Structure 1
Amino acid sequence: MEILVTGATGNVGRNVVRQLAEAGAEVRALTRSPRTAEFPRGVRVVAGDLTRPDSLADALKGIDRMFLFPVAETARDVVASARQAGVRRIVVLSSGAVTMGFDHDFHLPVERAVEASGLEWTHVRPGEFAMNKLALWGPSIRAESVVRDPNPDLAWYPVHERDIADVATLALLEGGHDGRAYTLNGPDMLSHRRQVELIAEAIGQEIRFDVMSRDEAREIYRAQGGFAAANADFLLGFEDYSGNETDSQALDEFGPTTADSMEIDPAAADSTAAGSMPTAEAVTGVPARTFAQWARDHAQEFLPG
């Protein structure tokens, strides 16, 4: 049994590759840049691009199971190629936004393509990635020991990427997960201010929290580039999950809503306002990793040089 991991250099994919290799599975890691990718010993690295399904033929030969990174535009063709090649099981990296009914264009089409294939399937639907805060706040913490953010009290349950990989790995290796969709969150509802405090504790230095307007934050994110620039409008509530412009007047008066940001204001509700949030523990039997643990795991990445 050989398993293909697509998106193998991503935050989740690289952990899935490592965990499968540690479990003794035969692993094939798909990447667009095989010459520069680094994986554990014994992992076979193959070239391919999910945006070009015709590039996957060699990568899919002999594959029994597949971890699928979501690319909506080509999902049907990729899944058809996988089925034709003999793949029997696909585990999809999806999103908690599907569970909450916000996602109709990005992850949901991938789920539907896999379900329509007749293959065994499992959807892994993480909520907010804790790793997003490294992409958003890491540059300013490294350079100035400061976080600039318009919403100190906005809160959600950031999930550790290793929890997501744990669930995906079990679904690839074990039976009993066919036809299941697992929504995953972190164990604690934490405001942005509290998350910054936990990062400060992990790196052993004070981090200043500067509150600014949404417009100021958008300019900073856009200038920062990368993930911050690409997602600034959504993260700051200027557009919804599908990229549609939101009501700026309502946002200025009430702040980002749960539907816009998948976060809530704990000042307006108690800590259980969002209900009981599912974590990886329901699948793995192991308590979900906390944000404090995530911050310790990535402490060095918040430090200069």
Structure 2
Amino acid sequence: MPDTTNPTNSPCSPSILVTGATGNLGREIVGRLQAHGARVRCLARDQADPHPGVEWVVGDLTDASTVREALVGIDAVFLIWPLLDSAVASDLIAELTTAAPRVVYLSSTAVDDQAARQSDPIVQVHADMEALLADLQPVVLRSETLASNTRGWVQQVRAGDVVAGPEAARTAVVDERDVADAAVAVLLAHHDQLDHGPYVLTGPEVLSRADQVAHLGAALRRDLRFQALPTDLARSRMLADGRPEPLVEALIAASVWRPESHRITDHVERLAGHPAGTFARWAIDHASEFI
């Protein structure tokens, strides 16, 4: 496990840039970095509510001047690439190359290193970004589906006992808190302790969407069930919810083509120092959000 010893307010405390800081995972990472005494700067399109001790740069990862400003004095970057197009990452790569911070990139467990083309557009952009970042020798964290993605079911759970959506491959769903623990351990590790990975971050069991809904129902003491929707109906509902068409098509492609992943690793424990938690535990801890 990397040594993350770093006394709060130490003059040697590292400066960390967090992208995607307003998301489910980013918020967990920011809080943990602060608890370790790191100086935290967040790059986001919109500033979140004021958070003591956190510096914000508002802008876009595709804008060179914004990225340049955000990287001043930064020791390490937690990078989430939010777009389905890696071609527009050229300015970002150039600025990272000039500033030369440590880069920790959040990728996907679905990336197949032996494949000429990946299984769907979402995985393809992760593979492309890994390739574009290669000269920077990033630490690559390939994450399984985050448990927090089920927050997208909140309105359906509040409205009834059926959660409907496109079917998806069974995966070893991972608690975003565990991914955050692993990411922070790497961000704060000493250079000579780093292995560039890729690390494959998974939960301890492989679950279908029906399994996840059942666990959530148990946490809520309700009989919830999952209903798989035909592709055309799933597409129309996501579009009606206001999701951009390119994202909807990518999600549909992922649900149709992505192969099942039955791989379970101990990489969370190796990095974070504790075993990965179960989705059932996540559901209990977050049940109040679905009421």
> For this structure pair, what is the TM-score category when the shorter chain's length is used for normalisation?
0.7 to 0.9
Question: How far does the alpha carbon of each residue in 1:282-304 deviate from its partner, in whole angstroms, 9 at most, with x for none?
Answer: 3223110110122123222222x
Q: Does 1:180 align with 2:197?
A: yes
Give the SS at the match of 1:97. Answer: coil
Contact 1:122 1:180 in 2 (8 A): yes
Give the SS at the match of 1:156. Answer: coil
Give the SS at the match of 2:198. Answer: strand
* Cα separation, 2, equivalents of 1:201 and 1:39: 36
Contact 2:25 2:176 in 1 (8 A): yes
Give the SS at the match of 2:271. Answer: helix
1:17 counterpart (30, 34, 52) = 30
* Cα separation, 2, equivalents of 1:277 and 1:178: 16
The equivalent of 2:161 in structure 1 is 145
Map 1:1-305 → 2, pairs under 5 A: 1-34=14-47, 37-38=48-49, 40-70=51-81, 71=83, 72-85=86-99, 87-99=100-112, 101=115, 102=118, 105-117=124-136, 120-135=137-152, 137-149=153-165, 151=167, 155-175=170-190, 176-226=193-243, 231-236=247-252, 239=253, 256=256, 260-263=257-260, 274-303=262-291
* Cα separation, 2, equivalents of 1:53 and 1:225: 29
Contact 1:148 1:209 in 2 (8 A): yes
The alignment-based identity, stated in percent, is 37
Compared with structure 1, are the counterparts of its residues 215 and 179 closer, same or farther at alpha carbon in structure 2 (3 Å cutoff)? same
How many residues are aligned here? 267
* Cα separation, 2, equivalents of 1:219 and 1:125: 30
Normalised TM-score (structure 2): 0.80
* Cα separation, 1, equivalents of 2:166 and 2:56: 42
Contact 2:202 2:264 in 1 (8 A): no
- Cα distance, 1:28 vs. partner? 0.7
Question: How far does the alpha carbon of each residue in 1:226-271 deviate from its partner, in whole angstroms, 9 at most, with x for none?
Answer: 38x76554545xx359xxxxxxxxxxxxxx5xxx13437xxxxxxx
Contact 2:215 2:280 in 1 (8 A): yes
* Cα separation, 2, equivalents of 1:12 and 1:20: 12
Normalised TM-score (structure 1): 0.77
Unaligned residue ranges in structure 1 (runs of 5+) = 242-255, 265-273
Give the SS at the match of 2:205. Answer: coil
Contact 2:108 2:126 in 1 (8 A): yes
- Cα distance, 1:131 vs. partner? 2.3
* Cα separation, 2, equivalents of 1:126 and 1:290: 15
- Alignment root-mean-square deviation, CA: 2.7
Give the SS at the match of 1:226. Answer: coil
Structure number with higher relative contact order (C-alpha < 8 Å, ≥ 6 residues apart): 2
* Cα separation, 2, equivalents of 1:179 and 1:209: 38
- Cα distance, 1:63 vs. partner? 1.0
The residue type equivalent to 1:53 in the other structure is A
